Amino acid sequence: MMARMKWFKRMFKREARDTNGDVVPSGVVPPARTPAGEDPLTLSTVFRGVQILQTAICGLTVYEVRDGYREPVSNKLILQPDPTRSRDDFIADIVASLAIHGNAYVRLDMFNGQTVACSLLPADLVTVTNRNGDPANPDLRYSYRGRTYDAGRIVHMKYLNVPGMVLGMGPLSACRSEVESAQAAKNCKAKYYRDSSNIKAIMTSEKELPPDAAARAKAQWEAQGDVNGTKFIGNGYKLQFPALKAEDLQFIASQKFDTTQIARLLGIPASLMLAAVEGSNLTYSNIEQAWIEFADYTLAAYTNNIEELFNRLLPRGRTAKFDWDSSRRTDVSERFNAYKVALDAGFYTLDEVRAREGLRPLSDEQKQALAMKKEATGIEQSGHAEQ
């Protein structure tokens, strides 16, 4: 009888095993879900900030680099990492995961030892464990919905690396108290308008009244008609309605401070967050420089992780890069002017300039066409000079 019971237990016992056949350690469960009321995306400033990051990065062009030269993307895994959706959606989810959680987990789907697709796992459903307890040389396992994967199947991207910590830190998760204070201010404003316990009127008297007389006066006032009717109360009573300034009712000062703080956390220029910074003198050149710094010190924190993921998907000898020229127009103009000075002075040849830009040398046909164009331009300029 006991043998039969053990057989039934073995048949119906369910164990979550990883790709190597190991049982998931007991006590390791996915982290708790974030309650809907505490979701940072319910704040308009956070929502706007994450949307700006996603739009800016998804708008960048990706190209491949082979033997030091730029080429259009041809690899299918780079063109569409997840076959169930577009590359822009895939990249946007990575950006949001890094901004909100500080971590992003991409599962590599394998077939015959080759990566055939990628899947982004929800960061709040992934549990990371270090099996050997050594932070310097960790043996990481990633648990997701009862399955456990080793580091060969999961690309773990971190917004900010901290030595000794398994998980990365993100701008919103690291400074949770500041985000929660903005959430509390929003809830306080909403509660003020919804809560019926707020004082609507104050009744005063010129003489001292016992509690029962004050209660009778209050009841008499409340019993006289509806809110739109005319009421009368005598015996020296005065009625005052507490009034708040519109600025105080809308928590404008607090909202300005919270917007500036969250923009600083996310590393987004105030002009993009539609936030006015007192004492700032915004000109076209200042805004252009702010956008360049935004690309260099904010967007690069996300794109570097995505480039590392793409490099892992590409064959050896090929890498992926984002094209920043569209977001750094001023830098591009200054760089090309510097190239022109170097070409005129003889410091660089045209092919050397092209190599610095990741372009292949000109072919003989291109050089001949360029020489003919220069010759025609010179003849035209000399004709104008004679006239």
Are 140 and 164 members of one domain? yes
Res. 20: pLDDT tops 50: no
Residue 101 lies in a domain: yes
Are 103 and 185 members of one domain? yes
Examine the fold and report which residue of 324, 358, 381 is the final residue of a domain before the chain moves on: 324
Residue 7 lies in a domain: no
E strand map for the chain: 61-66, 69-72, 103-111, 114-121, 126-130, 140-144, 147-150, 154-158, 202-205, 237-240, 318-323
Placement of tokens 């307890």 in the chain? 133
Residue 6 lies in a domain: no
Are 48 and 185 members of one domain? yes
d(CA 13, CA 19): 19
Are 160 and 211 members of one domain? no
Residue 28 lies in a domain: yes
Are 207 and 181 members of one domain? no
The model's pLDDT over 367-385, given as tens digits with 9 standing for 90+, comes to: 788 778 777 766 555 555 5
Q: What is the pLDDT of residue 111?
A: 92
Are 217 and 299 members of one domain? no
Are 84 and 25 members of one domain? yes
Examine the fold and report which residue of 306, 324, 342 is the final residue of a domain before the chain moves on: 324
Residue 118 lies in a domain: yes
Domain that holds residue 210: 200-241
Are 190 and 237 members of one domain? no
The model's pLDDT over 176-226, given as tens digits with 9 standing for 90+, comes to: 666 666 566 566 655 655 655 555 566 677 667 677 777 777 777 666 655
Q: What is the pLDDT of residue 265?
A: 84
Nearest residue to 297 (alpha-carbon basis) of 164, 173, 171: 171
Q: What is the pLDDT of residue 183?
A: 61
Res. 19: pLDDT tops 60: no
**Helices then strands (H, E): number in the chain?**
14, 11
Q: What is the pLDDT of residue 54?
A: 97
Are 72 and 206 members of one domain? no
The model's pLDDT over 106-132, given as tens digits with 9 standing for 90+, comes to: 999 999 989 999 999 999 999 999 998
Residue 330 lies in a domain: no
Are 64 and 87 members of one domain? yes
Residue 216 lies in a domain: yes
Res. 233: pLDDT tops 50: yes
Residue 163 vs residue 245, higher pLDDT: 163
The model's pLDDT over 279-336, given as tens digits with 9 standing for 90+, comes to: 455 454 567 778 888 988 999 999 999 999 999 999 999 999 998 876 665 567 777 8
d(CA 304, CA 328): 17
Residue 271 vs residue 278, higher pLDDT: 271
Examine the fold and report which residue of 210, 241, 272 is the final residue of a domain before the chain moves on: 241
Are 219 and 317 members of one domain? no
Q: What is the pLDDT of residue 44?
A: 81
The total domain count for the chain is 2
State whether residue 110 is helix, strand or coil: strand
Are 222 and 84 members of one domain? no
